[in-house]
Each structure stands twice: as C-alpha cells, then as structure tokens.
Structure 1
C-alpha cells in the first residue's frame, strides 16, 4: 500500500545577498519530520564575487546542523577550533551539543568552472541525553558519500544520513533516520517501503515529479503519513530529476525551540542564552 500525502508546501522565501532561500521547515503544517526540525533550500543562483567573510557568527545548542552543497563550496569555522571546507556534492555535519559558535563562508566552487550555488541546511534535533555532549564537526567530500546505481539503471542514490541496503553514511545517527539524494533518469522510477511510525518527506529541487501517483511541482516539500507503506517516485519527463527523501522515527521528547537553540524545556532555553551571553560557548579565533 502506498503512503498517503499529508501536505505539500513551497515554504517561505527570503534572500541572503544574491541567494534565494526557501524555508521549508518549520512550516504552516508541521514543525518537524522525524528529528529534522529545520530545512533551508538555497535555490540555484550565480555568484560572481568571492566572499572572504562568513555569513555571520552565531551560536547553536541542542542540535546537529547539516549542510549539503549540490553546487558551490562551504568553509566552516567554530569556537571549538574546528575548520573544514567542502565542495560540490559534499556535506558537513556539526553537533552543537552543549553549545558552540560557528560561521560559514559560502562561495562558488573554486574546483570547477561553474559559478552556481545550490544547497541545503538541515537542523537535526538531538535526544536530550546527547544535548549536553561536546561539539563535533565532520567535513565529507562528495566522493566519500556512499552512492550506488539503482536497479534497471534508473539512476543513483547517495546516502547522506542513515543507511540504504549495503550503504552506510559517515554522519553519526542518534535515532533511526535517513537522508537520501535520489537522481532518477527519464521515464524511470524509485520505490521504498517505510515501516510504521517513520515520518518522511520528499523535496523536489528544480523539476516536477510524480509521488505516489500525484504530480508535484519543482520546489515543493511533500510530507507523507506515518503508517507503514510505500513511497514511489516517478520521473515522467524527458530529463533526469533530483529528489531529496528524508525522515525517521518520531521525536517523542518535548521540543522547545527559540532562535538558534532547540531544547526540551523553556528553562533549558533560558540557560542556553545565559551561557551564551556569559561566554561559555567560546569564540572563533
């Protein structure tokens, strides 16, 4: 049986210089999909000028941030002393844990001739027991992300979070969760069965697709019901499409979110701000 669709949305649109940002999570319909509590999509844009400064240093606590850059490069700095630079197709994951300040420099990819930038940032909510752990950062280049060709030469799948068949992501998991990048060739399809209570959503990047027999437009986030069932993605067009499929088991602990902090109570949010203003998150050198 195919999963039902709960909702679809194109999110809220804002800008950051020449970049158009589409806020997909949270949205009017839900604040989370599994442990994923935030999703920004940076739509394809041409960037002519090289930045030497970051987008602005800011703190986080209680979450892990995940940047997946389809085109471009991202350089990371944080107050725990971590640095790293990823290029097109790469990902970086930062467990903020008990508090960290970080910044990112976003540019076109210096290793290619393209000046296009396109990518995603997710926030993944940590279980309460892991929110007090020390910050960690991992930079993963495109060639390090597990990838395989789909059956019937239907395209390929990259496993950024979680696992799929014999593929296992480098990024740590604190709950059952997944993030797949699917590239589906013309007139081909991909299907997956998800167990009961697994929340899931698909994001269509720049082209339309048919999800469980219903057509959706480019730029739409589609969330499915949590009952056990199949998600079928069909590409009925003459060109290949790219779809992000993500989700996981429901986050059942209390969630209190304010600004850059996601905790389990209002008191913990207040403590997060107090510690930040007291300088306990350190500083970026």
Structure 2
C-alpha cells in the first residue's frame, strides 16, 4: 500500500545577503518533521568571477538547544565557532554542529576555486535535541564527500546518499539522539525508487530543482511534501528526460514541548529567556578567526 500524502506546498523566501533562500520548514502546515524543526534550501546560484571575495553567510550568531546540519551540493562552506572549531567542507560534504548549551558560529558558502561553473547550492537543517542533550557541551563534526555513505541503485537507476541516520547497511557518522534520517536520492530519467516506511515515523520530501511523480501524484520543483504517519511505501518516479534529485527526511516524533525563538529551540519560554540571558552575558564565548 502506498503511503498517503498529508500536504504539499512551496517555501517562503528568506534571502540573506546575496543568497536566495527558500524556507521549507517550519511552514503553514507543520512546525517539525521528526526531530527536524528547520530546513532552508540555499538555492543554486552562479557567482560572477569578480565576486570572488564576496561571502554568502549570516555572520556570527548564537544557537542553543539544537544541532545544525549543512549539506553542501556545490561550493565550499567554511565554519568558525566560539569553541575553536574551524573547517572547510566542499561539495558533497556535511557540517554538523551541536549547539548544546550555547555556541556562536559563523558559516560562509562560497564557490569552489576549482569549479569553473562557480556554483553554490546547499541545505541547512536544524535538529531539535532532546531536553537532556540541550544542556550538554557543544560539538562539531566535518564530513568530506568521500565520508558520506552512498549506495548505487539496482537497474542503473541512480544512487542514494545517507546524510543522517541509516539506510540498508549504510549509516551516517552524524550522531543520532533519536531515530532520524536524511537521504539524498539521485534518480536517472525514466527510473523509479521505492522506500518502505516504518509505522509511526514522520516522513517528508523536497524537490530542489525538478519535479517528480510521488505515489501517483505529480509535484513540481520547489515543492515540500509531507506524508501521513501510517506505514506504507513511497514510490518516486522520474518522468523527466534528465536525472533528478530529491531529499527525503524525517524520523521519530518529538514528544517534548517545542518553544522556538530566533536561533534558540528549547522546551519552555523560561529556557528561551535563559538562552538570551546567557548569550548577552557572554557565556557562549567569542570566535577567534585566527
């Protein structure tokens, strides 16, 4: 039986600097899918040669109570934070930062110097931490493209990458605090992919650049699709004349209260107030750019 679709829609614009951003989550229908409370699609952008020194980013800013996960499809992301972490991750790689009890970070996306197309394209997810982990110290993890598990699909249908969670015998190095998954599926023209789902888990999909037929319904590029919580199959068919990509994500329902304000996601308004108080008191530290 095919899984039912609860709703679909397109994100709202949330541009930052020279980045074109579509905010897919939260949206008018839901505040979370599994542990994921935020998804920004940093749309594909071609950068002019004379814009080499121009960085696309939000500048230094705090977080608390979440883990951020940035998946880079094109370009290079550079990360700095107030706990001394610094790394550059290129196309196909992942940056994961557990904000825990408070951190300041700065993340910039620029074209890869070796990419003649000068393209940037990325996703950023926020993973809501269970209450017991919101008070833990921050952590950071950089995963290069060759460290992201990938499986070639049967019948030359394409491939699937495991950005978070597990699929078949593959498992991402990103820590799990509850059951979670992010898959990047690349499907060749005329091919299809079927995913058997698990009862009770929450599932969503996003089509970044091309449309697809999902469980017999046609969806356009830029659409966010959420499924019901009953078990069933998700069948994706690529009727385009070229290969297409889709992001599938979700996981276990977050059962604790969710209170989000600005860069903080906590379990109560008092905890939000404490997050701001500690930030303004300088307890998150400062970034040393070296």
**How would you bin the TM-score normalised by the shorter chain?**
over 0.9
Moved more, 15-24 or 220-229: 15-24
TM-score normalised by the chain length of structure 1: 0.98
Whether the 8 Å CA contact 1:256–1:265 is kept in 2: the answer is yes
1:195 aligned to 198, 202, 209, which one? 198
- What is the CA–CA distance in structure 2 between the aligned matches of 1:15 and 1:176, rounded to whole Å? 31
The residue correspondences of 1:16-55 to structure 2 (distance < 5 A) are 16-48=16-48, 49-51=51-53, 55=58
- What is the CA–CA distance in structure 2 between the aligned matches of 1:249 and 1:33, rounded to whole Å? 8
Residue 14 of structure 1: CA displacement?
3.0
Whether the 8 Å CA contact 1:34–1:200 is kept in 2: the answer is yes
Is 1:268 aligned with 2:250?
A: no
1:98 aligned to 71, 80, 101, which one? 101
SS of alignment partner, residue 132 of structure 2: helix
2:154 aligned to 151, 154, 157, which one? 151
List alignment gaps of at least 5 residues for structure 1. Answer: none
Residue 195 of structure 1: CA displacement?
1.1
Q: Equivalent residue for 1:112?
A: 115
Residue 89 of structure 1: CA displacement?
1.0
Whether the 8 Å CA contact 1:89–1:141 is kept in 2: the answer is yes
Q: 1:29-57 CA distances to partner (integer Å, 9 max, x unpaired)?
A: 00000000000001111122134665311
SS of alignment partner, residue 242 of structure 2: coil
Residue 173 of structure 1: CA displacement?
0.5
The residue correspondences of 1:165-244 to structure 2 (distance < 5 A) are 165-244=168-247
CA, structure 1 residues 51+7, in 2 after alignment: closer, same or farther (shift >3 Å)? farther
Is 1:142 aligned with 2:145?
A: yes
Whether the 8 Å CA contact 1:70–1:118 is kept in 2: the answer is yes
Q: Could you list the runs of 4 or more consecutive aligned residues of structure 1 that deviate by over 6 angstroms after TM superposition?
A: none
The residue correspondences of 1:73-88 to structure 2 (distance < 5 A) are 73-88=76-91
List alignment gaps of at least 5 residues for structure 2. Answer: none
Whether the 8 Å CA contact 1:35–1:248 is kept in 2: the answer is yes
Residue 194 of structure 1: CA displacement?
1.1
- What is the CA–CA distance in structure 1 between the aligned matches of 2:8 and 2:69, rounded to whole Å? 23
Q: RMSD over aligned Cα, in angstroms?
A: 1.0
Moved more, 236-245 or 46-55: 46-55
Q: Equivalent residue for 1:246?
A: 249
